[in-house]
Amino acid sequence: MSLGRRAAAEAVGTAFLLAAVVGSGIMGERLSGGSVAMALLANSSATGAALVALILTLGAAMNPLVTISDAFRQAIAWRDVPLLVAAQIGGAFVGVAAANAMFELPVVSFSQHVRAGSGQLLSEIIATFGLLLVVARAREPAFAVGGYIAAAYWFTASTSFANPAVTVARSMTDTFAGIRPADVGGFVAAQIVGASAAIAFGAWIGGKR
């Protein structure tokens, strides 16, 4: 595919990913009558299922750290990275706005959801390390990534953002899946640490199985 089409796939895929994350969080919270576990189950299973569909359909990375890791592994050219990442970030914002609009909320509202502390940052390091390893090595990546994220919502204390584009965009919705803008920096820093470790480990242990 041409670079333009690949960027379009990244934009559309990341928009649907964020719509899935934010929208299912809103629906889950509205319908669950205060049961946070039920809301998170809706959120995690919808996100995992959407990832399966989106990766099978678009083959997109939908994650700047994955795109950068792909460039390190020479799976894509470094010169393509800026446009692909811009498409991911732009798509992410559109997806959050679309979710807010579908549920008749203000299109943009800054989140007040505090996500901070050492447990949260350790969670993001571990979550991103695992995700990048899955992306770099897994057979059947759609099912591997969907399964990994559906699980990591539950097994990390941060619910596993593991994606800077997702993190920034989720600061723009004051709903279940939101993150306070002030906490975005820490999350992204932790994600970069985890991704760096995964790229180094992956280079040693080797690529696709």
Q: Which of residues 133-172 bind a second copy (CB under 8 A)?
A: 133-134, 137-148, 150-158
Q: How far is the CB of 61 from a second copy (least distance, A)?
A: 14
Residue 101 CA to residue 65 CA, distance in Å, equals: 28
Cα separations in angstroms, 7 against 14, 169, 174: 10, 18, 28
Q: Applying CB under 8 A, which part among 26-34, 84-92, 162-170, 187-195 lies near a second copy?
A: 26-34
Residue 170: φ, ψ to 5°: -70, -10
Q: Applying CB under 8 A, which part among 71-79, 163-171, 185-193, 200-208 lies near a second copy?
A: 200-208
Residue 54 CA to residue 146 CA, distance in Å, equals: 10
Q: Single out the residue of 127, 125, 95, 89 nearest to residue 108, CA to CA.
A: 95
| 168-197: contacts with a second copy (CB under 8 A) | none
Q: How far is the CB of 180 from a second copy (least distance, A)?
A: 19
Q: How far is the CB of 198 from a second copy (least distance, A)?
A: 10
Residue 40 CA to residue 43 CA, distance in Å, equals: 5
User: Which tokens hold the place of 88?
Assistant: 């991911």
According to the binding rule CB under 8 A, does residue 130 interact with a second copy? Answer: yes
According to the binding rule CB under 8 A, does residue 99 interact with a second copy? Answer: yes
Q: How far is the CB of 138 from a second copy (least distance, A)?
A: 4
| 37-76: contacts with a second copy (CB under 8 A) | 37-53, 56-59
